[in-house]
């Protein structure tokens, strides 16, 4: 059986790499006073149609949507933000918790996209949402956090691309300008673009058809249509980023593919030393109407998400993944049935004391057990034979130094504790 196209397995060393990345991101989010939330993988399809917007490619083309047994339309989440906003509206956490609500999340998302380098149909995102405060300092804090996360992972030379798509008035003016610009071309553009032209001409800028990209190259840019307030907000943000020495590049063409964004939008790009370009490693932006659209009060928000697969790939390419630390520390080598009984019990004591302990279940020769211990990269072996059983003792062998010592069974945990815990 093959796995589903666009999905991937994580073997132990890959899963360990993912976990180390996720732990670092979680730790930094926690320092920024964000709290973890978890929302369902399945949601009513309507949530994404209303939340993400039915002019976005993600909703129009890439959702895994099906009817459940009661004929309800359900979708696998193609992104997190809409689900998190639904959660905070349903639970009215905005009424009980201090604003801004600061949440982080982690888990799989699903998009029926064309699989290619860095692009999967099931992939993992880590991200944050800050809801309920409109200060531009909040935007800067969120960008600063994302940037610190990438630096902490060891990714120097990350490119932050940033733009403002303005408030409603700015975008209305911009949409009109885009309609005027595309009017003489639209009959020759792809069918999707024809629909985008009617639904939301901004989305024409996301088109991936080469001829259409060429036409869009000379389209007006949103920056020319910003209201005074939006321009001021954007300039304030850029000034703070410069002051905090967060390098950025204003990308006037950056509009992001989801319909809920307003004002600040940004993406992080990184090309690894191998030259592999996996696409944006993260992106996000400010949103104004999403909470209200989903039945809540009039609260703004800002968030971003990283693609964990893409972070893993660039870190792996650049040899920046932390070493796998989960090596078996102690390998139990019981000789005979009675010894196996003692060994399993002792292994349990060691495990409960925090020592990674593995155990040889088979009735095999000591030499074979040593081979297994070596393969598992054990640091110590505990040998229990008939002689040891009779004397209530075990033999502990340091596999690096090739030295061994006899220790009373009841003092084994103590012996390792005195070594200084789970030393390398």
> Under the rule (CB under 6 A), what is the footprint of ligand AMP?
79, 111, 113, 118-120, 123, 125, 257, 280-283, 305-307, 309-310
Give CA angle at 54 (69, 255), nearest 5°: 140
Least distance to ligand AMP, CB of residue 254, Å: 11
Report residue 43: phi and psi, to 5°: -140, 160
Least distance to ligand AMP, CB of residue 119, Å: 4
Q: How far apart are CA 121 and CA 113, in angstroms?
A: 6
Nearer to ligand AMP, 212 or 267 (CB): 267
Count of CB atoms situated within 10 Å of the CB of 232: 12
Count of CB atoms situated within 10 Å of the CB of 178: 24
**351: three-class secondary structure by DSSP:** helix
Report residue 268: phi and psi, to 5°: -110, 135
Nearer to ligand AMP, 174 or 304 (CB): 304
Nearer to ligand AMP, 117 or 364 (CB): 117
Nearer to ligand AMP, 79 or 388 (CB): 79
By C-alpha distance, which of 252, 256, 257, 264 is closest to 220? 252
**405: three-class secondary structure by DSSP:** strand
Instruction: Please give the full DSSP string across 149-218, using - where no structure is assigned.
Output: HHHHTT-TTPEEEEEE---HHHHHHHHHHHHHHHTTTGGGS-HHHHHHHHH-GGGGGG---HHHHHHHHT
Least distance to ligand AMP, CB of residue 14, Å: 15
Least distance to ligand AMP, CB of residue 117, Å: 10
Nearer to ligand AMP, 50 or 340 (CB): 50
Nearer to ligand AMP, 150 or 412 (CB): 150
- With a CB cutoff of 8 Å and minimum separation 6, the contacts of 267 are 160, 161, 251, 254, 256, 280, 282, 283, 284
Q: How far apart are CA 59 and CA 54, in angstroms?
A: 6
Nearer to ligand AMP, 120 or 380 (CB): 120
Q: What is the CA radius of gyration of the chain?
A: 28
Residue nearest to ligand AMP (CB): 307
* Beta carbons of 399 and 374 less than 8 angstroms apart: yes
Nearer to ligand AMP, 34 or 331 (CB): 34
Nearer to ligand AMP, 59 or 335 (CB): 59
Count of CB atoms situated within 10 Å of the CB of 24: 17
Least distance to ligand AMP, CB of residue 314, Å: 10
Least distance to ligand AMP, CB of residue 189, Å: 23
Nearer to ligand AMP, 313 or 357 (CB): 313
Least distance to ligand AMP, CB of residue 137, Å: 23
Least distance to ligand AMP, CB of residue 280, Å: 4
Report residue 175: phi and psi, to 5°: -60, -40
Least distance to ligand AMP, CB of residue 122, Å: 8
Quick one: CA torsion of 66, 67, 69, 70, rounded to 10 degrees? 150
Least distance to ligand AMP, CB of residue 359, Å: 39
Place of tokens 């001409």: 201
């Amino acid at each position: 059986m093959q796995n589903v196209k666009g999905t991937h397995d994580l073997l132990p060393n890959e899963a360990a790499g993912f976990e180390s990345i996720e732990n670092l991101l979680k730790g930094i989010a926690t320092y920024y006073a964000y709290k973890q939330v978890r929302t369902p993988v399945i949601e009513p399809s309507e949530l994404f149609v209303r939340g993400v917007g039915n002019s976005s490619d993600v909703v129009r083309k890439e959702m895994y949507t099906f009817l459940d047994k009661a004929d309800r339309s359900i979708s696998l989440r193609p992104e997190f933000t809409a689900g998190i906003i639904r959660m905070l509206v349903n639970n009215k956490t905005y009424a009980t918790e201090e604003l801004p609500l600061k949440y982080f999340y982690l888990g799989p998302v699903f998009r029926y996209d064309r699989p290619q380098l860095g692009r999967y149909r099931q992939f993992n995102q880590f991200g944050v949402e800050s809801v309920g405060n409109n200060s531009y300092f909040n935007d800067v804090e969120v960008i600063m956090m994302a940037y610190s996360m990438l630096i902490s992972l060891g990714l120097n030379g990350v490119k932050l691309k940033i733009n403002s798509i303005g408030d409603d008035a700015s975008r209305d003016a911009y949409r009109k300008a885009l309609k005027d610009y595309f009017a003489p071309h639209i009959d020759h553009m792809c069918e999707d673009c024809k629909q985008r032209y009617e639904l939301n001409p901004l989305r024409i800028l996301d088109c991936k058809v080469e001829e259409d990209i060429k036409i869009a190259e000379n389209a007006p840019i949103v920056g020319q249509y910003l209201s005074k307030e939006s321009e001021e907000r954007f300039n304030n943000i850029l000034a703070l980023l410069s002051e905090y020495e967060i390098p950025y590049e204003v990308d006037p063409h950056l509009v992001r593919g989801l319909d809920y964004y307003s004002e600040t939008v940004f993406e992080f790009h990184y090309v690894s030393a191998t030259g592999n370009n996996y696409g944006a490693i993260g992106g996000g932006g400010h949103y104004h109407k999403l909470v209200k659209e989903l039945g809540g009060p009039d609260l703004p928000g800002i968030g971003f998400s990283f693609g964990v697969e893409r972070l893993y790939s660039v870190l792996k390419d650049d040899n920046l993944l932390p070493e796998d630390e989960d090596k078996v520390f102690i390998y139990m080598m019981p000789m005979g049935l009675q010894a196996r009984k003692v060994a399993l019990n002792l292994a349990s004591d060691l495990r409960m004391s925090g020592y990674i302990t593995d155990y040889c279940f088979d009735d095999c020769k000591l030499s074979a057990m040593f081979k297994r211990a070596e393969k598992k990269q054990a640091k110590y072996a505990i040998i229990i034979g008939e002689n040891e059983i009779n004397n209530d003792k075990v033999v502990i062998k340091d596999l690096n130094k090739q030295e061994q010592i006899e220790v009373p069974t009841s003092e084994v945990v103590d012996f390792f504790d005195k070594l200084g815990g789970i030393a390398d």
